[in-house]
Amino acid sequence: MAMKTVSKELTFNAEDFKRVASDYLDVVANAVNVEVARERLYRRITISQYDTYASQRELSEGKVIRVRDSTRALGGILKSRSDQIVEFSVVQAIYDIVRNVSRPDLEPGFYTDLVHMFMGMRGEGPVVALGQFYITEGLEGREAAILRSRELDKLWREVEERMDRYKHGLQPEVIEKRKKRRQQIMDQLGASESDWNDWRWQIGHVIRKPTQVNQLVPLSYSEQRALKLVEEANLPFGITPYYLSLMDENGGEDDRAVRAQVIPPESYVEFMAKHKGDFECSFDFMLEKDTSPVDLVTRRYPASVILKPYNTCPQICVYCQRNWEIDEAMSGSALAPQEKIDQAIQWIADHKAIKEVLITGGDPAALEDEKLFEILEQVGQIDHILRIRLGTRTPVTMPMRITDQFVERLSALRIPMRREVSVVTHVEHPYEVTPELFAAVEKLRAARINV
């Protein structure tokens, strides 16, 4: 099979796609309708994967992974069920492209994804796959070891080059820039240094009014428009002052991922607003309604359950699987009644197969210590629970929440060789990493709490 050269440009068009995928598209061009095209293309890519493995005696790990994953991904997309789920047909798009039917709705990103998938089915890609390094070419012994070592040096240079594309929050220039941003926000909110470092102050000053954000950090027109729509639709919204200080004064490439986590695109807002309260359109994509044997509990696995006593957060993340359940950031009615909490914990106690409880919500760490640890200690009284996990984003969105008292009380729940205690959080981008986050994690680890 002839190798196709592909431009290194970041985006592609219909002609680029037809050139790269030409070996596959003849079966589409002759199809009498889109369903015939679907079946033929699916068969062709399946046979192509088999031929790749059968005809090449020695495949590098990187090529095997590319061929396998690209074929699997495209095969899933081609199925009619995928059309029904996303209400868009990739097969129809390909069928139209091959027959030169105008499709102005297809953007460069669509063609780019297709180009990369069809390249991947040949084991190719725009960059060298990491698995294609350290090939010893049949050498043995010391010669093989020296070549492997040389290739590993090359591999690490490639890794560093890829990592260096993204700034992170521990770089000195980023730290200095954020000190200035923090001071600007403190001045605008009338806060002192001690206020800023008090997690209760942070919660008390969560930005809940979307259009207020533009007063504290410059926004693009599309961001302003999206936030105006959020406000008009009365969708849940919240950003902590601390997290707001991670956004650059003049937004650009560096803080794009930070902004995207809390400032939704217009299309997202429009969809959420249109289907709010529409039970025919479920935002419960984890299908928790089908895995909740009792209120506040989700059980998907034999030995683990989720306990959700608190249904709000200081910060509403766009990607959250439960943000459709939240009425507003730090809602006063978010804590479940004690009776329901007791019933849920008793249900867990009655099921001895359960060994692990993830306490999440919402973000339970936004509760006062007294209430939070009352719930944690109730769970800790169940003999067959071997691991308690606290799910919280506060180390990232409000690291000052990880106080000495918080760590001490959490550590007290840990019983060596008997029960583990973990804090489960997630950092979505290196630009979220800050000295404050790092210090919070180190404080937890020093108390032998898993993070």
What per-residue confidence (pLDDT) applies to 131? 55
Is residue 77 pLDDT above 80, yes or no?
yes
Q: CA-to-CA distance for 114 and 244, rounded, in angstroms?
A: 36
What per-residue confidence (pLDDT) applies to 274? 83
Is residue 8 pLDDT above 50, yes or no?
no
91 sits in which H/E element: helix 90-98
What per-residue confidence (pLDDT) applies to 3? 38
Q: Among residues 256, 324, 243, 255, which one has the least CA distance to residue 284?
A: 324
What per-residue confidence (pLDDT) applies to 4? 42
- In the chain, domain spans: 14-132, 172-275, 288-446
62-80: average pLDDT: 86
Going by the DSSP 8-state scheme, the letter that residue 269 receives in this structure is H
What per-residue confidence (pLDDT) applies to 225? 93
CATH code of the domain occupying 288-446: 3.20.20.70
Considering the chain, what is the average pLDDT of its residues? Answer: 89
Cis check for the bond before 362: say yes or no (omega within 30 of 0): yes
Do 354 and 340 form a contact (C-beta atoms < 8 A)?
no
Report the interhelical angle of 34-55 vs 22-29 (nearest 10°). 150
pLDDT in tens, 397-443: 999 999 999 999 999 999 999 999 999 999 999 999 999 999 999 99
301-308: average pLDDT: 96
**Percent of the chain whose predicted confidence (pLDDT) is above 90:** 65
Question: What pTM does this model have?
Answer: 0.78
The residues, ordered by sequence, that sit 6+ positions from 229 with a Cβ below 8 Å of its Cβ are 266, 269, 270, 273
Is residue 119 pLDDT above 60, yes or no?
yes
What per-residue confidence (pLDDT) applies to 61? 65
pLDDT in tens, 215-243: 999 999 999 999 999 999 888 899 999 99
Q: CA-to-CA distance for 148 and 135, rounded, in angstroms?
A: 7
What per-residue confidence (pLDDT) applies to 374? 98
The Cα angle at residue 289 between residues 269 and 339, in degrees rounded to 5: 105
Q: Which amino acid is at 39?
A: E
Is residue 6 pLDDT above 50, yes or no?
no
387 sits in which H/E element: strand 387-391
Please, what's the b/e burial string for 307-338 (b: 16 or more CB within 10 A of its CB; e: otherwise)? bbbbbbbbbbbbebebbebbebbbbeebbbee
Is residue 284 pLDDT above 80, yes or no?
no
